[in-house]
Amino acid sequence: MSAASVAPPFSSILFDLDGTIVDSAPGITSSLAHTYEALGMPVPTPAELLRWVGPPILDSFRDLAGLNEAESARALEVYRKHYVSTGVFDAVVYPGVREILAAIHDAGIPLSLATSKPELPARLILDHFELSQYFTEFTGASEDESRSAKKDVVLEALRRLRVAGADLSNPIMVGDRHHDVEGAHERGIPTFFVTWGYGSPAEQAGAVGVAETPRELAALLGLEASAAA
């Protein structure tokens, strides 16, 4: 699909969660700090911990903390226990994003979550903020993290949408990290990049559109301008 052909109306839409729908960094970074402390490791700075938000967490335990497979499994166990019990709701919905999700739903466009966060905490967040009603499907990492790479999450989201009878002739991904852009591209899906999340400007490479505000994203998606603040 060429950039020139990427235009509404979109037949289905995939949305990342962390950094795209919600600012979940406070809960994630506090749980990471707890994990480092529990493992007897020096706690990185808050800025360094922000690098963890978005990518698959097992990859980050390996790439950012330098842990081996067994150590990463133990760290994941510590992290999840703290995050689900303490950090999962330490988040806020980005202003204007709720209105976009509602406009997508009202337009009858199938919408799937596509996050590298496991599905249980992802659903807890969407339920807590009363956003679940806008989604056709909820796709995230599997509990054992065997499906956590964004390309695999996107593939599963597309499969579920297809089973639900969605039209996949002109889909679009919305995300804030290069993992979203690259993972969707591997499945033949273009991406709109949002700048209010955790990605750097360099991570926009490969995106077919960039939105600095929810209003700009609404325009890219072909929604009514009033859909977002």
Q: What pLDDT, on the 0 to 100 scale, is given for residue 2?
A: 38
| pLDDT reported for residue 35 | 96
User: What pLDDT sits at residue 227?
Assistant: 54
Task: Give the active site residues.
Answer: 16
- Which parts of the chain have pLDDT scores under 70? 1-5, 225-229
Residue type at 83 in one-letter notation: Y
Predicted pLDDT of residue 144: 79
Per-residue model confidence (pLDDT) at position 228: 54
Write down the pLDDT at residue 24: 94
